[in-house]
Every structure is written in C-alpha cells, then in structure tokens.
Structure 1
Amino acid sequence: MSPLAGAGPTGGPADGPAGWATTWLDLRGEADSRSRSAELLTTAFAAARAARPGPAPADGVPLRVVDVGCGAGAMARWVVTRADGVPTRWVLLDPDPSLLRVGRGRLADAGATVDAVRVGTSDDLPDLLGGEHAVDLVVASALLDVLPGPAVARLASAVVAAGVPLLCALTVTGEVVLDPPDPVDALARDCVARTATTGGALGPGAADTLVAAASAAGAGVRSRATPWRLDPTRDADLLRAWWDGHAAAARHGAGPEERSTVEAWARRRDTAVAVGGLRVVVAHTDVLLLPVPWAGR
C-alpha cells in the first residue's frame, strides 16, 4: 500500500513525512482488512497455483508474491493470514525506503518470509517478473488511483505478459455516501474528484483503466465492490482522519464560484464529525486480473 494510499477521495495525507504516512496506513488498516475481497484472493491463489510449473505449492513449494506499493506491509499481512496453509515468500516494492523497512519488519513478525525489498515503483515490476526467481502472484492495495494512466496500462501489460495473476485491492471509485445527507454532498464529491486527478493521477477512473487494458490483452477480469463502512464509534480516529483529507480535497477542487458553498458545507460536516454524528461509506473496488488461459473460467 503506497504512502499515497487514501489521498483524495479516501482522505489521508497526500504527502509528508514517512511517520505521518505510517500513521495513516495504520489508521486505515482495520477498515481495509474487513473490506478487501477474500473471495478474489482465493481465486488468485488458485490461478497462481494452477499456472505454476513443477510441484504444486500445496506440496510445500511456496508461492512467490510481489507486493507493489507495499507501504507498511498491511496487504501482505492480510494475504498471509488468509493463505489457508499455502506457504508464501515475498518481494516488497515501494518508493519509500523507510516504509519498506517497516513493512519488512512487520511481515517478518507475522511469520512470513521476505526474500527481498526493493525501492521502486510499479514501473519496476517487469524487472522482478523477469528475474531468476519465478513470481507466481502480484498484489497491490490502495495504489491504482494514485497512478497515471500509462503506469496502470504498463502494470496490466507486465502481468499479462508474465502470465501471473494480479490482485489490486481497494481502488476508490469516487462514490461517497455521507449519513445524514446534505444538499451539497454531490458538489463536494465533484470537487474531490478534481483534486484526485491533480498531477495526472487517474483517481476514480483507475480500476476501469486497468480492466480495459487487461481485457484488450485477453486476460480474465473479476471485480468485487469493497466499500469502507465507517462508524463514528468503531472507526472514530479513521473517520476523523478521512474527513480531514476529504474536506481539504473538496476545498482544493472547488472553483471560485463554489468556494463559499463548499466551505459552509465543510463547517457543517466538521461539526457533525466532532460529535460523532456522521457515518460514511467510501466506495472501493477490488480487481483481479487472471492469466489468459483462465480468461474464460
């Protein structure tokens, strides 16, 4: 999970010190864990095991997994806890060396084997897929929406060419439902979407871009809705952090004629958050790309 994970529509820091990024990743960890699709993970494991030549991983040969934009290692730990006895070995890829150190340590503490860590981005994935050690599965979480379109297309191309599954969890779709509703919610959502695509990031269109690129290459695609459902009692700290990022993104994306309306909306909502009076649903999707031989299954 990238340190940018959650920027824009899902809240959280868009940049800043690694310590703040780690704090944000830890805040969202429980919501992420309960939202990701265990069904798609099961399918990803089955595809990875079927595609691998030689002894089946169930016979004791580990699956080798690359976590792209691993952040503090939450996605990898989630996979390990749901591997149903299938051994795994890990390669962690992230542009932030300090987050890589955190991720490696936490994954080791969870009993997983980390073969390598690498400072880099999704564009470095082909080098890992073409290395001397076979890769069986690629995963990422809360990553796609902060990437530009060409990077998402290259990611799809790399895994399709290598014939390995790719599970991308928790990509925001742009839909946010606030309860109770407010007449300005739709305008604010549009303002947030403008901010999410600043600097070339795909934002809410990222999952569709991945699906289109993979489908054009003949890969199979499966997806599941994986929304966050934030409760002011259970998720108080995360909801507060998410709201701060969401409101800031709405203010940033508001046009001159919209700013006073959005500012008044943000103040109303801020009051509701402060007293535990706001529930939030943040839409995400999990997408699984399957190797070409699996496309029709």
Structure 2
Amino acid sequence: MTAAGFDPEWLALREPADAAARAADLLDPLRVVLSRRQGTVLPRVDRTKGASTPGDSRKNRPLVTIRDLGSGTGSMRRWLSGRLGVPERWVLQDRDPELLALAVDDEAGVEVRVEEIGALSGAELVGTSLVTASALLDVLTAREVDALVAACVEAGCPALLTLTVTGRVELDPPGPLDSRFEAAFNQHQRRHLLGPDAVAHATAAFEARGATVLTRPSPWRLEPGPLTEQWLRGWIGAACEQDPDLTSEAPDYLRRAGELRAVVEHADLLAIPGERT
C-alpha cells in the first residue's frame, strides 16, 4: 500500500501496470478446474483477446459467480472478464461505497456489497465459483488472511489472488541506499500487516487445509512517468517513517523520480481446495 492509498486517481493510474503484470498462465489450470466442476467441455480461448473462439456458444452453460474482494473500481473484473471462457456473474465487495459506485457506473448485472473482508465466511461463499482479489493480501493481517483462506476452503471455492508485493525492488539507475530504503519499507508494512510475508503465509495456510497452491511472479515494470513518481513517493515516505535517519536522503531520491525505472516484485497465487493439478 502506498501513500496514495486507495484514491480513485491512484487506482486508475496503476491499472495498466497491474494488467500487464498479472500472471495470465494461472488461468489455464483455473479454467480446467471450473470446467470440471461445471461438468462442461472446456472451450478454447484466445489468450490475446480474452474471448472464446468463433463457434463456441455459451448458451445453456452454467453461470460462474466470481466474487472480487477489495474490488475498488473494478480493475480485476475488467482484466479477467472473458478470459475464462465461461458466462460470468460478478459480485464486487469493498468497504468503500464510492469506489464501488465507480466500478458499476456503466455496468449492468454486477452486484456490489459494501462489506469488510473480515466479514466473509464459508457459508457466505456457498454458490460462489471463484474468489478473486488484486493487491489485497499484503494489506491484510495474518488473522484476516487466515479467515479468508478458511472461508474459501470451507466453501470449496478456488481463489485467484494477484499482485501481492514480495518486498523486492530494483531501481535503474541504482542508488547507494536502495537496499536500506527497501528494508525500511518492508519493516513498515510488517508493523501491523503481513506485507511482503503475505504470499508465504497464505500459501502455508491454504496447503495446511489441503488446497493445491500455484504461485507465479507478477512484477511491475515501471518506466519514468507519473506512476513511478507516485509509487516512489509512497515507498520513500513509508521507509522514512520507519527509519527517520533516511529522511535527509529522501530529497535526493525523489529528485531522481523523473529518470527512474523500477521493477517492483509481486506474486500471483491460485489456490484450489480439494484438487490436485
């Protein structure tokens, strides 16, 4: 989570980078699982277009209900919709009603729920075919992640959880204090949240409950520009809050914002309860 928080302008700014980073190859095993559970023949999907090939009719195929947690303005739905080759029904869940209003401004047939993630239970997921989330796990506590995992496993519901930060950052051109800023930022996240430990924690929690877990890297690759500048301000600000001795170095780092390229490591996770892929 950056200093920009969940401001709609920040979410809009990062959406193209999010879409480019997500690990699309996790969709292949997910499509197999969804098709098997529906008892249908797996349609062929054009990965580049995210749509079924001509002649593949979706008529009379079971509707897949996808619940997107912490959905914000709906970027996950915009990326995933059509890529699974199944008819979809989306439930967008977020604690911020203003963000949800933006997510469904021009959309019909999308349900919204203003709820905290911690309120989710296995019983509430009955009838849900897939749980999704984007940039969520690292801003949850261990207890919240454990509750999410328990709910998915109890309901037998696969989970596609994308864009969780892993703590590694590479700046180009590099600076002498890059590793120190990185370590301070990671410790700042760990104060109350899982931060860069979230993928390992969620993987262990799912596997302890018998789920199959697949993970893939999903790095942001940032060029000089507004997104890199805003991300850098948030990264530097959190690091300085954690390690005040870095404050005197922050202006030099921020002055480099217009020339910096950055690789911000993330990971995507697909958990499949009760399956072996």
State whether residues 35 and 41 of structure 2, in contact with CA within 8 Å, keep that contact through their aligned partners in structure 1.
Answer: no
Q: Where do 5+ consecutive residues of structure 2 fail to align?
A: 44-57
Residue 21 (structure 2) pairs with residue 26 (structure 1): no
Q: Which residue of 1 aligns with 2:29?
A: 43
State whether residues 95 and 119 of structure 1, in contact with CA within 8 Å, keep that contact through their aligned partners in structure 2.
Answer: yes
Distance in 2 between the 1:38 and 1:150 partners?
29
Q: 1:268 to 1:43 in 2, by over 3 A?
A: same
Q: Secondary structure at the match of 1:105?
A: coil
Deviation string for 1:187-244 (max 9, x for gaps)? 111111122123x211110111100000001100000000000011xxx111111011
Please list, as runs of the form range in 1=range in 2, the aligned pairs for 1:133-282 lying within 5 A after superposition: 134-198=127-191, 200-232=192-224, 236-255=225-244, 259=245, 262-273=246-257, 276-282=258-264
Larger helix percent? 1
Amino acid aligned to 2:261: R
Q: Cα RMSD between the aligned structures?
A: 2.0
State whether residues 138 and 196 of structure 2, in contact with CA within 8 Å, keep that contact through their aligned partners in structure 1.
Answer: yes
Residue 115 (structure 2) pairs with residue 129 (structure 1): no
Identity of aligned residues (%): 38
State whether residues 52 and 136 of structure 1, in contact with CA within 8 Å, keep that contact through their aligned partners in structure 2.
Answer: no
Q: Which residue of 1 aligns with 2:47?
A: none
State whether residues 38 and 62 of structure 2, in contact with CA within 8 Å, keep that contact through their aligned partners in structure 1.
Answer: no
Q: Secondary structure at the match of 2:256?
A: helix
Deviation string for 1:244-287 (max 9, x for gaps)? 111111111105xxx1xx234322221211xx321100000000
Please list, as runs of the form range in 1=range in 2, the aligned pairs for 1:33-72 lying within 5 A after superposition: 33-52=19-38, 59-72=60-73
Amino acid aligned to 2:75: A
Distance in 1 between the 2:124 and 2:109 partners?
17
Distance in 1 between the 2:237 and 2:267 partners?
23
Q: Which residue of 1 aligns with 2:52?
A: none
Distance in 1 between the 2:251 and 2:66 partners?
45
State whether residues 49 and 63 of structure 1, in contact with CA within 8 Å, keep that contact through their aligned partners in structure 2.
Answer: no
State whether residues 48 and 164 of structure 1, in contact with CA within 8 Å, keep that contact through their aligned partners in structure 2.
Answer: no
Shift of 1:83: 3.1
Larger RCO: 1 or 2 (CA < 8 Å, sep 6+): 1
Shift of 1:183: 1.6
Distance in 1 between the 2:255 and 2:8 partners?
27
Deviation string for 1:69-103 (max 9, x for gaps)? 0000000111114233x210011110111111111
Residue 80 (structure 2) pairs with residue 79 (structure 1): yes
Q: Which residue of 2 aligns with 1:113?
A: 109
Q: Give TM-score scaled by structure 1 length.
A: 0.83
Amino acid aligned to 1:128: E
Distance in 2 between the 1:209 and 1:181 partners?
30
Q: Where do 5+ consecutive residues of structure 1 fail to align?
A: 1-6, 16-20
In the alignment of these two chains, the number of paired residues is 261
Q: Which residue of 2 aligns with 1:4?
A: none
Amino acid aligned to 2:217: A
Distance in 2 between the 1:238 and 1:51 partners?
40
Q: Which runs of 4+ in 1 moved over 3 A?
A: 52-59
Q: Secondary structure at the match of 2:112?
A: strand
